Chains A and B, each alone.
Chain A
Amino acid sequence: MNPPPLIGYLGHNNRVSKVNRATAMQSLSVSFAVGLYGIAFGAAGITAGFSILQTCLLSLLTFSGASQFAVVGVIGAGGTAVSGIATASLLGIRNTLYGLRMAPLLQVRGVKKILAAQITIDESTGVAIGQEDLGPEAMKQGFWFTGIGVYVLWNFFTLLGALGAQAMGNPSAWGLDAAVPAAFLGLVWPRLLGKFERTLAITSVLLAIALSPFIPAGLPIILTAGLAVIFGWNVRP
């Protein structure tokens, strides 16, 4: 078997790192798979009453799928901006942990640190960690390729989804009202690994629905974070 060809190798300057083809391919496929979800988000934003500009800005600036869906979900249901932001932030805490993990690897400063932070998401961190066997250089490439790839495609497909939803008009007539919760369900599904997680999920659904008529929109969702704390406080059974 031939050694993997090295693309992006720039002539004499041997300080330019070689691009690992397997890492690049993995980054690209992850970027496409995830970027496509942007359509669902674009449609969700419009369905919730956000403008095309606002929906696209969420993808450009907030850039974290679950948090973005949460903001449009909570505010679209009549929740306050504060409940929307709080839910998004609770979902975004994991990005802090990813940053902690990536900082020693990337060793970035200044503007590069800001860029690295902005593209620190599930996928860029996941692909970076997945390259561990190939060494730190491949891990860094995995992070940057995937982060930038998802960023570009996620934003492109958000715009596409937003334009599409805008053109469709009444969200219910096209089933967008069910597509949005189905999109959430698709996000949470892979996390339901065992009985423990499923119990938490079902308890959260029931609590949030039960509280909905009695407290302002958005709060029933935030309160389920308390369930996560209760469930996670002691070591797993």
Chain B
Amino acid sequence: MLGCLFVGIAFGQQRAIRGQVRSQEDGAPLAGVSVTAQGTAVAVTTNEDGQYSINVDESVRALVFRYVGFQEQTVAIGSSNMINVTLQSDMSELEEVVVVAYGTQRSTTFTGSATTVGADQLEQRPITNAIDALAGAAPGVQTSSGSGQPGTAASIRVRGLGSINASNDPLYVVDGIPYSGTIESINAADIETVTVLKDASTAAMYGSRGANGVIMITTKKGKQGKTRLNVRALQGISNRGIPEYDRVDAYGYYPLMWEAYRNSLAYRGSNPLSLEEANKKASEDIFGLLAYNPFTVPNDAIVNENGVLNPAAQLKYNDLDWADPLTRTGQRGDYSMSVSGANDNTDYFFSLGYTDEEGFTKQSDFNRITGRLNMNSQIRPWFKTGLNVSGSTSKSNRANDGNSTGYANPFYFSRNMGPIYPVYAHDPATGEFLRDLNGDLIYDLGGLRELGLANRPAGASNGRHVVAETLYNLDRRNRNALAGRAYAEVKFLKDFTFQTSVGLDIANQQNEGYDNNIVGDGAPAGRARRTNYIYNSYNFNQILTYDRSFGKSHVNALLGHENYDYKYDYNYGFKQGIISEGNYELINFTTINSLTSYKRDYRLESYMARVNYDYDEKYLLSASWRTDGSSRFSPDSRWGTFWSFGAGWNLDREDFLQGASWINALKLRTSYGQLGNDALLDEDDNPLYYGYQSLYSIGINNAADPGFIQYQLSSDLVWESNTSFDVGVEFALFGSRLNGTVEYFHRKSDNLLFSVPLPITSGLLERWENVGSMYNEGIEFDINGDLVRNDAFRWNLRLNGTTFSNRITALPRGEIIDGTKRMTAGSGVYDFWLRDWHGVDPNTGAGTFVADNVDAAGVYELDGVMVTTDHNNAKFDYHGSAIPDLYGGITNEFRYKGFNLSVLLTYQLGGKVYDASYATLMNTGNYGAAWHADIENRWQQPGDVTDVPRVDVTSGFRSSAGAQSSRFLIDGSYLAFRNVTLGYTIPQSLLSKLTLTGATVYVSGENLAFFSKRKGMFVGQSFTGVTSNAYQPARLLTLGVNFNL
């Protein structure tokens, strides 16, 4: 290699070339165009007037002009020292430069698969977390629907799922360095591009960390030209995006509960009553069982002996909707300003941002202040250095949706509260509001005996009150984050560059919690908790690159070393017994209930190499290699080696296609490689760093005596390996009016890191093992075309979609059953394994399942099938997969003069959902609990043919009919109006009077409409296809303005 080095060191005569670059479309000067002396690293950029000046060696024959959004142009250097150029806009070249591992690469010579979302797609959307912009924007990327909790991000899966129990989350890289912070700490307005690297040849350079894909976030830099000031302000409101399920109202509820109780008397196993007796007894008892009478009729005359509600019944009070007092129209403000610019040697960008977002549920919000400084300086021709540092501080109140069926979960509680129970205390006789000494309304806690009120029954969350608890409790997260990246780059021997970078991600997060002393888990003492997390990570790398052209050949080689150290420090204190109201500091509580701390540490050391080669930008080859040592494995199996190959062919540069002028670009590419995964997760999906060891938990003390308890058993864990193959075609046709990519991918995972369920007799529930293999295989496409393109009007349609399947190919232990899923060789990870629901027996109204053991007691024949009403004897079977048949996004963009309208739809076709929230609402009768309106279709008398069993409060009947089964599966197809934005760019003629250089105003809406098979169903909140009582996405309506000075 040293031999080659001598070649480049000859120095010749220099000449200066000047000129101006303009846009062909409107003749406007283009600032920031890259002007490169062909075959050298010598480059300058144009200033704000589009002018440039470059000193080139006499041997240089041509200048290359490159600018994002325009076609590249190469102009031969003639005798003149003045070269003026006009560049032609080119949509297909928008992604001219792709951000890749340890650098950037020109898209024409790139053999990998990547999708980029640019600042233009981000800046008009009212999103707090930039990751939300990936929904529907990139093929191969699956996002969960996101939560209404302000600030939180959707989860991301790239090309299926690489792992079953280890993490499937992609690696986040911010400004070239793996990022350990949370994306919510980054101001979306600071982001220039978000690039998803999907295939092996792009991700393998991150070795063990890239197996689930890589999301590269690049923040904005200053551009050549006059200093610019950009101001962006958005103001909007937030509301519930998905309506509540249809539920039975108070008038419907009483007769139905009467019937459920009546049936429990008439159909019970021992000494059943006759229907007549049962009717009579039901009319007598039903008030006592439900405990509340919201109607203007006597307690003993609510439902008559025919099961009919007293026609005189009118509601005495109407505060029966428990979601209502907690719901509001949230305000969202998002303001940022930035200053940027560059001179010949230094570019700079700094920004400030402020976001304040209220959720549509009270006590949920997000408030963030961010600042960033990004500066790069070419101090000497051979030495460049830069610093990009950002800080953020955020405060967020959190809605309590961590536990889907927790009493303090407002979504669970309000959804399942029977429709006859009021939020506020009322005089049971008159229905008048009761008031406290201050004249304020009193929350009905469901057991205010001292006010003469009844206990709500068990199904109506007796003794709990989610409105009071939500308002009185505190659950706040405060986070301060600092992210710094610095590098120094030395060029030497002409073709070599040595760069060393340090990245530091520090965050302190403090969670403050208080459970009030009036109602709920904290009552009657009141209790407070404080959790402090300190995250410290640094990433240090040294990269040596060699870049050189030999005639038409171009070689770029890289050699590097990197290490990464992540430290996590946890402290937790918990006290009860509040002393003075309103102060939630621990000092204000009397008794310590818990006080603990621990540290965790994760380290990684890596060496890597990469070679990219192209011949005349026509034939492309790349190869990479990386080895990682991870502290997550034992010294014997710690090091993993990862590699990839990629190849590409730009057919459009072949002579035989030169005649086909309708082809603007045509590239075939493929890649193959092996990556690894070490990201073990604990039972709460937090990273697990010591999974290979046999461990005992500390702190299981018996009063004052120190105690341990077995926590985990070791096994010989090795890296989970992920082998990816990818082949694709990229094209731009008809003057780049039609562009697209179609790709096939195949990802195979071996030695899966599996949390294998153990026989409970082992004393543990599971252990980590490397078990089995699986693959994901699919096709993704991304097509965009200008359906109409003329001077005044342009309509661009972009359609992307992904279809993939997932199959387990080997599972040495035979089968693993986990919740609603059963994994076995030949099945998919998200295949539903459920009791086989056979329907309702028309004779008895009982729910039946296909029987497993046909000889067991209680099995009988129904429609020629041996069935049972006992869910313990139900046969389990596969019932389709949660993976959609096809999913993706559709974007329509219309531009007319200064107006632009963009409509983003996301869709899913096929895929099953187990609607657990609906299943709870379809219980056969639970005193006090709400019902879905579909309960009206219940079986009522022999001969009724329906799929809804009879209502019956008998607990055994309820648990059988309500057992997890195929009964509650539903098609998950949906169509969502994810974003609609209408913008107007104010004409230059108006702006110049205001000394502005650009201004837009826009209105934007997120989650405007959602169409699915069942109203209220929140599809896609989890990849497993199971619904829970989670915070639903918010509908945001926003007015925005953006101007440049």
Pair from one complex: no
A-contacting residues of B (Cβ < 8 Å)?
Answer: none
B-contacting residues of A (Cβ < 8 Å)?
Answer: none
